[in-house]
Structure 1
Amino acid sequence: MSDALDRYIQTGEGISVEFKRCGSQPGQDTFETICSFANRQGGSILLGVRDDGTVEGVPETSAISIERNISNVTSNPNLFNVSPLVEFERLHDSEGGLVIRVWVPMGPSLYTFKGVVYDRVADADVRVKSDAQITSMMARKQGYYSERTVYSWVTEDDLEMDLLGAVRDALRANDADHPWLSLSDGELLRAARLYGRDQLTGERGFNLAAVALLGKEDTILDVMPLYRTDAVLRRVETDRYDDRLVCRSNLVRAYDELVGFCEKWLPDSFVLDGGQRKSARDVIVRELVCNCLIHREFVSPHIARITIDREGIRTSNASRALFAGPVTLESLDPTPKNPIIANFFTQMGRSEELGSGTRSLYRFSRLCTGRDPVLEDGDQFTAFVPVPPVMASAAGNEGDHDVTASVGESGAVGGPKGNRTRAEVENVVDDLLSRSSSFAATDVSERVAAVSGRTVRRYLADMVKEGKLASDPRGRSTTYRAGNSADGLSGDC
């Protein structure tokens, strides 16, 4: 068996490999696969191989007629609306059996066979019927970034120009000598490529990236009528939701709003990363929110979603990926979705170089739970990061109590007494120790209002006995500091 044929057999059927039995002529399903490969990322059809990988072969005397038949059918305008490109290669197994490889590259058009659009999903050819699916396919094929589309009627009055003050603060915090800091508002927008010339029309003006990043809600509605991010908490009311945020703000505002929503419902946790204490929750939330906002396809009708449930946090957003499938550290080959928007967030310090977010998600998910996140790209990018143990414990407790408890901006947790565990008190203690060398019991009680002051003191006394804390009585008050085994406390997620 040739090395090439052996590799295909060992790989098996998938998004870019299909096995087909073939007699003297190919069947109709061969042309459905040709159509789906041309619409997706391309692929190879092996004629003469069964679904289980057994080489059956095709008759040597029929090889020319098979290849000619495929060429004639794909060139027939009554069967294919646009002729897809196909190439042939003849391979032989160890016993001399002939296999014809039909290679189909991804094409620039939307291809139909007998009036039907086919797409490749895993190892199947799927009929595409909905307008939303077809829109996603067209967006995927565009070499032109939709964020660059210019809207000549958009002026500075259509943008939240006062947000540039907050943008400059973020730039300064990230780089005190950032070159954009010395620019006027108009110069900054041009330096960020939010104002320019449309490559297709030649018009000059503000582009979709400018509207997405800084637009007022009415302007966003005019340019992207289906734009929104739907964030929900779904732990008790699994059929509906326990809390919800429908975010239609521009990306600069949406980032803070969505991060705040997620942090409200995911208790903070710290891990040791390279000897430094870091908040796993903050890293995971910011990476997921950032990806959901800046790497989405804005012209798609699919609504971006963030869901927090008992198992973890999930996101999904429309994407324009050239290749579909799982995203792992081994297969990571990041391609920019919206380079102008991504660069703006990078300059503000909200995101890093392409691909670093995926690596951070893997690292902190492993540090916190010992499990990998699940990431998959395609017409939609989906992500799942599991809930760390403390978060899972808190989520389980909510099923027996009123879930209207919420976290305010100060970090205090409100709700019925007794619906928080010691684990949550430890979580607050861990946070306090990361900010100061000591704290008082009242500092904990203020942030965990759902637990009585007496219960907080009992938990703290237990932690002193266990060596996790040390106490320093001072008159009527007692302060607490890290004990001999504090590393065990701060390392828990």
Structure 2
Amino acid sequence: MTEAELLKLIQGGENIHVEFKKSTHEITKDVYDTVCAFSNRDGGTILLGVKDNREVLGVAPDAVDRMKKDFVTSINNGQKINPPLYLQPETCTVNGRTLLVIQVPSGSQVCRHHGRIFDRSHEADIDITDNSDLVYQLYARKSGSYFVNKVTRFQMDDLRSDLIERARAMTASRTANHPWKSLSDEELLRSAGLILKDPERLLEGITLAAILLFGKDSTILSVLPQHKTDAIFRVENLDRYDDRDVIITNLLETYDRLIAFGQKHLSDPFVQEGVQSVSARDRILREICSNSLAHRDYSSGYVAKFVIERDRLYTENANRSHGHGALHLSSFEPYAKNPPISKVFREIGLADELGSGMRNTYKYTKLYSGGTPEFIEGDVFRTVVPLAPIALAKVGPQDTTQVTTQVTTQVTTQVAILVFCTEPRSKVEIMEHCGYKNAKNFTQNHLRPLIESGQLQMTIPEKPRSRNQKYVVVQGEPQDDGSHHR
């Protein structure tokens, strides 16, 4: 590396791809932890002779050759680094001082240092050896095959023929002579790569992808009990939610319910593209919902989310990451995370070619809200679409159901407080009992009205903010809703 490139690297500080080590006279143990972490993640650069605060100390000139030899010997030792790595430190000069630069590529196998597995997270090397879930995800990332291609022992009877027929009809509506039109159900699955042969077990059968797309709910739960998508509308009740749909079913019907949930809560203002009017809302929903379903890491137990808030809409899903940080339209490189699922989505018209979803989301978000969407890559992939106030505007006669529900919730919560506080209780105890986390909203909406109405009193009224403050029911006042009588 040139001196200018090194100076730029140092000025940028440590991050998920850059690590500084003081190491002026010898290679310290934590250098090998970082080598292991970089190999297991996305690769990176280690600078020896630089402190964490970016101060360039340099490596002692008389120690350079010895340190290089020690490093190369250690990483080629299978007892220390397994599998052995073949790296060569580079000698560079910055401000007249000698640095050793180690470029670590991303490895194809899981790397261990003295039997421990390290992963890279922001600026730190994390020992994940005893975290079985993180280790499993790491092996899944390094695996040459795709998780959804795993062959199962389930049969065609465990799939829903009506869903396969629906997929066949959807392709026919887009392409009159589509090959799937004349294929049997089994032939259709084979052509889509949903029936494969496991060379190790010598077993041929339908894959996890086939079950996710066309399986019965009971079949899906038996092989992927963690599969779930949580759709949440949270605009008024910020402690919990205003509306929610927990979706545990096949991907086709999950897509339908996510789209319906978004259409239910987002308005569809007039938008013109060229000389035609388009539904920018529906275009955005199509792209982000299909992306979340087609590119999700189904081996993870992380619950996928589709959330609508006052100023934004976002999705989150587990991800087999190929990098970290925000993706940019001009430079990102798309990767197929679940090729067989993506293929079916393209054939039936729920998605287009790889990478088009990001471009379309940019395009239609500009038309819908005037904002710029964010795509954040990591072990959890996050898409954020900014919303304009009009997106949540309600038109026509107002539905009083939601208001009535909120009032009922408030009354129920206050009754629960009065029943619970027959003995003095702290605010934390009351909030935990009622299932609330936001102390400010809880005080404003529930505690204060009860105190002002004379039903609840503080045990230390002269010091309202005392950390020992507790709340108790005022004697003589009603303590329940009258539905329990002795």
TM range (shorter): 0.7 to 0.9
Corresponding residue of 1:282: 282
- Counterpart Cα distance in 2 of 1:99 and 1:304: 45
Deviation at 1:336, TM superposition (A): 0.3
Contact 1:140 1:379 in 2 (8 A): no
Match in the other structure for 1:228:
228
- Please give the per-residue CA displacement for 1:71-92, whole angstroms capped at 9, x wherever unaligned: 3444556654544443311112
Query: Distance between the aligned counterparts of 1:64 and 1:133, measured in 2?
Result: 37
CA distance in 1, matches of 2:43, 2:200: 27
Partners of 2:269 and 2:100 in 1: how far apart?
56
* Structure-1 residue corresponding to 2:166: 166
Q: What residue is the counterpart of 1:327 in the other structure?
A: 327
Deviations 1:245-275, CA, capped at 9 Å, x for gaps: 1111111221112211121111223322334
What is the TM-score of this pair, normalised by structure 2? 0.76
Give the corresponding residue for 2:20: 19
Partner in structure 2 of residue 350 of structure 1: 350
Unaligned runs of 5+ in 2: 406-486
Aligned to 1:42: 43
Choose between structure 1 and 2 for higher RCO, CA contacts under 8 A separated by at least 6 residues.
1
Tell me by how many angstroms 1:61 deviates: 1.4
Residue 203 of structure 2 corresponds to which residue in structure 1? Answer: 203
Are residues 323 and 19 of structure 1, via their aligned partners in 2, closer, same or farther at CA, if it must alter by over 3 Å?
A: same
For 1:110 and 1:191, the matched residues in 2 are separated by: 33
Amino acid at match of 2:315: T
| Paired residue secondary structure (2:193) | coil
Corresponding letter in the other structure for 2:56: V
d(CA) in 1 for partners of 2:14, 2:337: 28
Aligned to 2:148: 147
Deviations 1:199-245 (A, max 9, x none): 54342111111111100111111221211111111222222222211
The corresponding residue for 1:403 is 402
Q: Which residue of 2 aligns with 1:467?
A: none
Listed one character per residue, the Cα deviations across residues 278-298 of structure 1 (whole Å, up to 9, x for unaligned) are 112111111111111110111
> Which runs of structure 2 are paired with 1:42-61 in the superposition (5 Å)?
42-61=43-62
The one-letter amino acid of 2:378's match is G
Structure-to-structure mapping, 1:387-466, within 5 angstroms: 387-393=387-393, 403=402
The unaligned stretches of length 5 or more in structure 1 are 407-493
Match of 2:270 in 1: 270
AA of the residue aligned to 1:370 = G
Distance between the aligned counterparts of 2:369 and 2:116, measured in 1? 45
| Contact 2:151/2:197 (8 A) holds in 1 | yes
CA drift at 1:315: 1.0
1:190 Cα offset (Å): 1.4
Shift of 1:10: 5.4
Q: Which amino acid aligns with 1:279?
A: S
Q: Does 1:28 align with 2:23?
A: no
> Does the 8 A contact of 1:14 with 1:123 survive in 2?
yes
AA aligned opposite 1:68: K
In 2, distance between residues paired with 1:144 and 1:354? 19
Query: Is the 2:311–2:389 Cα contact (8 Å) retained in structure 1?
Result: no
Matched residues, number: 402
CA RMSD in angstroms, aligned pairs only: 2.7
For the residue of structure 2 that corresponds to 1:150, the secondary structure is coil
Show the counterpart of 2:444: none
Q: Return the offset for 1:54.
A: 4.4
* Residue in structure 2 matched with residue 261 of structure 1 by the alignment: 261
Q: Which residue of 2 aligns with 1:300?
A: 300
Match of 2:450 in 1: none
Where do 1:118-129 residues align within 5 Å?
118-128=118-128
Distance (whole Å) between structure 1 residues aligned to residue 349 and residue 403 of structure 2: 33
Equivalents in 2 of 1:64, 1:217: separation in Å? 63
Contact 1:38/1:84 (8 A) holds in 2:
no
Q: How far apart are residue 150 of structure 1 and its match?
A: 0.9
Change in CA separation of 1:101 and 1:382 when aligned onto 2, cut-off 3 Å: same
Q: CA separation of 1:87/1:340 partners in 2, compared to 1, >3 Å: closer, same or farther?
A: same
Q: Distance in 2 between matches of 1:301 and 1:2?
A: 45
The verdict on how the C-alpha distance between 1:269 and 1:136 changes in structure 2, with shifts beyond 3 A counting, is farther
Displacement of 1:9 in angstroms is 3.5
TM-score, scaled to structure 1: 0.75
Q: The residue matched to 2:305 in structure 1 has which SS?
A: strand
